Structure formats: structure tokens, C-alpha cells
Structure 1
């Protein structure tokens, strides 16, 4: 405003004032121009600062908004933490109150568990002892079984050798009703009546007596055997007139005894190894419906078995 007034007054003053005054005024004018430029520059700078401050203010508002949200979240977290802390404090308090009873319960359970473990260990030791004893018994049993197998094989071989000796000695009688069979560890020497006896008689014929004597010589070489002589008949009832005979039982027994009498004359045969028995008609080897079958059933059967005392001792 001051500058404007000076400009209006300048023509008037130019005519009234001296050149010195004019120069002074001119200088003042220039100073004012300079001052105006400086003020304009300051105003521009202030405007720039204002804009920068306004931008900073907006940024600060945004940060404040974000911080407000974060602060709210943190407050919620604090509330949750306080709630958890309270729950922990209550749990700790509960544990403190119940710790003694819990310790007693755990101690009781541990004691019961230890007792159970001790019982299991005792049972295990007892079972180990039992198994050890059982293994020893099994070993002993296996040895006995092996010994029994060896003994049975030995007896079987002895019976096989004896069968061969008997077959060789009695070869000439095989077509006269004599047969030898080995089964179940025993020898069965069967002699039909046509080789030994006449019908209804127990007197041994010459050929039969010779066969029994030869058989006895072979048996005498095997002292550790038992000799069972069995008499057998067919199913025809005995009707003989000889005294002391009452039916097929008596006849079959009497014929077996007559064979024993011939064998006992061999002094090398132990009498304790001899047994006589009558089976009558009740152990047939063929049907009694035909003459041929009846002839086979009328027989003397000599059953030769090894001494089984050792075998029985092993089995026991």
C-alpha cells in the first residue's frame, strides 16, 4: 500500500522536489522492489513448507489410525493374556491344593506296579526253572528214545537173523504145511496138523517131531527170547474117546504141551522161556467153510519174541 501511494505521488513530487530527493526516492523504490522479491520468495518457501507439513500431517494421521488399530489389537491380546494368566493361576492353585493327594495316589500306583513287576519276575524265574527242568527231561527222554530205537533195531535184526536160520533149518518142511513170518518184531512159525498130528490125536508124528527138534536147535542159540506155543483147532467139536480131553480147548492145549515136551529135551533152551497155550477154534487164519480153510486153522503156532525187559525199562 505504501508503494502504491508513492507511485501516485511520484509525478507531483518530481516537479516539486530536487534531483537529490528524486534519487532518494528512486533508491527507496528499488529497495522496495528488492524487499518485495524477497517477501515473494519467502511466501513461496512458506507455501512449500506448508504443503510439506500438510503431507506430513496426513501421513501422521494414517500412522495414528494404524497405531490405533494395532493398539486395539494389543489391548485385546492383553485382555486374553490376562484371562489366560488368571486360568493358569487358578490351575496352579488347584494343583497346589491337590498335589498331596495326587502324590499319594501316584505313589500307591507305583507301589502296586512294582509289586506286580516283582510277581511277574518271580513267575518268570519259576517258569525258567520249569523250562530248564523240562529241557533236561526232554534230553533224557530223547536219549531214551534213541536208546530204544537202537535196541529195537537190534532186536529186529536179531529176529531177521533168527528167521533166516529157521528158514534154512526148516527148508525141507515148507511144502508140508510149515511157514515162517516176521511181523511186529516177532517171528511166527506155523505148522499145520498134517505135519504133526493125526485127526483127534495129540501124539506128534515122526516128521513133525524131527521138524520141532531142528527148530529147537536153532532157538537154543538165542537164549534171550520167549517162546510161546499155541494150539489151534477148526470149529468142528472134538468127539474123541481119549480120557482127560473135553472139547477143542483141551485138545489145542494138549497139542501145545506135547510140542513143549519135545523142546524142553534140548538142555540149551531155558524152560522159563517156554509157554504153552490152547486157543481152540477162536483164532482162525482162514474160513472154516471149506476143508482147505479148516486144514489151515488146525495148526501149532510158535511165536518167538525178543526179551523186552530192557525195552520196558526204557519205556518206564
Structure 2
């Protein structure tokens, strides 16, 4: 399976730079796997495709202001530190720029010294660093003050409202990027969905480098995912297993929810409670054990996210749907439109 097999042509003007208002007025492409039919709707129509007795699985992670801009303390050279994953109260795994200048022992300063970090060690597999922070006061409060939302590099517009890069149900801080399929939901739409008899079930995956790390090997199956923390509670596992046994579908909001459930599911499709790191890589040929349908955005060419979608639909089918989305001028990537695969 070649990485280049998952390429497609995307005009740059279709990369969404700003979110749609209201959230649920983005467009929705509905793809029916049974017959290959495609429908063009709006996201608020998603309720028409969810059935009483289904489960809607959401990832309630919350994005932290993970991008810190500062200086190298001894020279004043500008630096950027992107927090990926917390190890303990002071230490984080991070991406840094300029990497060649931020060797172990380097001290960086942010906010005129309000926050400082020391580079402890290299993280070879991601080209990152382990950094240790020092500050007066509560770290989270200082980070809220000094940090920025880490928008993807293909978004060039400044985000006017930071809450638009959070889902309305975000609760547990820890992500370096938003689970963007969830950005389309409003509180009102969620209430209508619940009133229809669909159970909303929260799970957790803190989005880090594993979700959006580019595939750099030609043989895609050799790609190694970076691990991310995920969790399914006892209540969530019991609810999902009961719904599936009763004939309801498990409908995941976003690829992170899929990866969480597939990490926690055994071959028989039973979902087990637990909290652990996952580096699961789902691509065509990998068995989907516990997920019946998916709400997702349109993903980058040659990405692990497009490969996961292709595991559900088949590669040729996924690329065919993407070509139609391009032809119909859908908006792509994080702030773009949505797709429902059922």
C-alpha cells in the first residue's frame, strides 16, 4: 500500500480559512456505503440520518493554548515551543523551532521571563524535545495568558474567537489540536439529537502529533504513529456495548473517536473500559471492530486520516467521494465541511 495511492488534487482556495457561522450551517456530504449514493445536505440535517437507539460518540478533549512564542534566553533569538504531551507537573514533550539551536541545556523565556523552560532531552522519533517549565504561580493560568491556539499551518487567517477551535462539549484539557469533526455541533443540535432517542456517549483522546503527523514513507504500512492518551469509562463501555447488542449503531464523531474505540475493542467488537496510550493506525485492510458509521471532515492528501476513512469505505470509493466534494466546492480540512459515512 503506497502513500501516493491516497493522493488527490485539491485547489488551494478550497482550504477553509475560517469557520462557518452558525456552526451547524456548514455543508454535509452523506455517503451511503451500501449503494454508493451521495447526498448533499447541511450539517443540521445530520439528525435525519441518526436513528433512535443509536449512540453518538464524541471526544470531549479540550485544546490548550499550546503554542508558546519566546526567546532563547542567552541570545534573544526568537523561539517557538509547541506543547504536545504532558509527562508530569513540569515536563512536556514538545516540538521546537529552530531545532538546531535548542539543544539540551538551552533555556527559553516567554512573557519577559514570566515563564521559562529548560530543554532536557531530544525525542528522536518526532524530532522534538522534552522541556521543563519554571514559573511563579499556577502553570495553567500562565499558559492561558501567554499561549496561543495552535492552528494548523494551512490556516493563514488569525482566529478572532478562540472558542471556535473548541467543540461545544470540550471538557478535559490536553490536546494540541481540535477534534475538528465535532466543531459542527451546537448545543441546540445536540439537544435535538438526544430528544430523538440517540445517546451521546463521551470518550477521550488527547490529540497530539499522532493524529496529524505526515506520512513520510512510501510504503504506508511502515508509518509509525506517535502515541496519544485515550480513555473509555466503565459507563461509556457499558452503554456502547448495550446499544450495539440492541441493534443500535455506534456513530463516531471524528477519527479520534474511532481510534479510541478501536483501541479499546476486542476482536468480537466488545468495547472495554480503560485508559492507555494508543498508537493505533487504521488503514484499508485493518478490521473495523466496533464502529458502524462516521462523521468526519475532509482530510489532507496522503494523510493517516484519509487512510482511516478509506478503511471504512475502500480507497477507490473514498477518492471518488473526495473528487465529487472538490467538484461541488466543499470546504476542506479543520474549518471545512463535513462528511457522514453510513
Q: TM-score, normalised by structure 1?
A: 0.19
- Bigger-Rg structure (1/2): 1
Which TM-score applies when normalising by structure 2? 0.18
| Structure with larger RCO (C-alpha < 8 A, sep 6+) | 2
Report which of the two has the higher share of helix: 1
Q: Which structure shows the bigger proportion of residues in strand conformation?
A: 2
